[in-house]
């Protein structure tokens, strides 16, 4: 069916508006990237816009040698990888039994978990519990409180519920138990939603900030989010790196170092996202009303 002139005009306006919104999100990122790869003179004179001027990687060299960003990056990787693994394991073992119709009191357990999405214990009681368990200055203070996202668990539970029962019946006829059914039958056909949830958890753990400020006092354990925030707001962190520059090398400016720090922080998620984005629509729309 051919679109009418009015519909074509409407579609064209939609494309223009969406393109402008996309550019408004993309331009700041391009400007930061251009600043991080531009020379000192170009940055100081304000010549940098969306493309590097006097291309240079001195800011990244200073960032690696004059700050603790390498260690912070390593800490972020450890927090993210271990956190995603733990969260996905617990989410799987929570979603699978709650998706079984024969599981006793599954409605009660589901409502109890949904209750935590609305109400929480509060900041001070949570801190006292973490302190009482001796988890301060430990990454377990980051992993345990957010080990399971109820929203992610509900997505996975709904996905398991929509798997045709004939597949499970055939597996049980072949002698599959619950563990083998989950590991060898359900997980392989659930990879789209699992990949999406891994990215959800990964972004949350990679960008964890407030919990790090509260529970981690050891500066050697801080992650990239905290370090970059300190670089942006505190001049002392940058001054240590800037003073460490050898006199025979080109000096860099604070704006370039800050931009480079932000790029290092967001680059891993930007690299991973395109490979998993295709699973989003299929996974997030699970349970929607179908006509």
Each domain of the chain, given as residue ranges in start order, spans: 1-56, 58-291
pLDDT in tens, 26-62: 888 888 888 888 887 887 777 888 888 888 888 888 8
Annotation: CATH topology of 58-291: MetI-like fold (1.10.3720)
Mean pLDDT of 222-236: 81
Mean pLDDT of 12-24: 89
> Which sign, positive or negative, has the C-alpha torsion 245, 249, 254, 259?
negative
Residue 289: its pLDDT value, please? 43
């Amino acid at each position: 069916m051919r679109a009418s002139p009015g519909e074509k005009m409407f579609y064209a306006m939609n494309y223009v508006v969406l393109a402008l919104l996309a550019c408004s999100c993309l331009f700041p990122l391009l400007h930061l990237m251009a600043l991080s790869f531009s020379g000192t003179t170009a940055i100081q004179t304000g010549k940098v816009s969306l493309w590097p001027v006097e291309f240079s990687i001195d800011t990244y060299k200073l960032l690696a040698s004059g700050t603790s960003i390498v260690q912070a990056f390593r800490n972020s990787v450890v927090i993210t990888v271990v956190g995603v693994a733990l969260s996905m394991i617990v989410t799987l073992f929570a979603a699978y039994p709650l998706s079984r119709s024969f599981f006793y009191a599954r409605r009660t357990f589901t409502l109890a978990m949904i209750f935590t999405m609305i109400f929480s214990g509060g900041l001070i009681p949570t801190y006292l519990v973490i302190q009482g368990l001796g988890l301060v200055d430990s990454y377990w203070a980051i992993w345990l409180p957010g080990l399971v996202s109820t929203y992610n668990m509900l997505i996975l539970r709904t996905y398991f519920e929509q798997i045709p029962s004939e597949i499970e019946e055939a597996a049980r006829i072949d002698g599959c138990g619950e563990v083998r059914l989950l590991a060898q039958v359900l997980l392989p056909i659930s990879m789209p939603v699992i990949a999406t949830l891994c990215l959800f958890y990964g972004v949350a753990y990679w960008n964890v900030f407030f919990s790090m400020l509260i529970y981690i006092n050891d500066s050697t354990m801080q992650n990239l989010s905290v370090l970059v925030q300190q670089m942006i707001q505190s001049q002392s962190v940058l001054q240590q790196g800037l003073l460490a520059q050898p006199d025979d090398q080109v000096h860099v400016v604070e704006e370039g170092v800050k931009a480079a720090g932000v790029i290092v922080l967001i680059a891993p998620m930007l690299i991973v996202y395109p490979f998993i984005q295709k699973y989003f629509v299929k996974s997030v729309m699970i349970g929607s009303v179908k006509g």
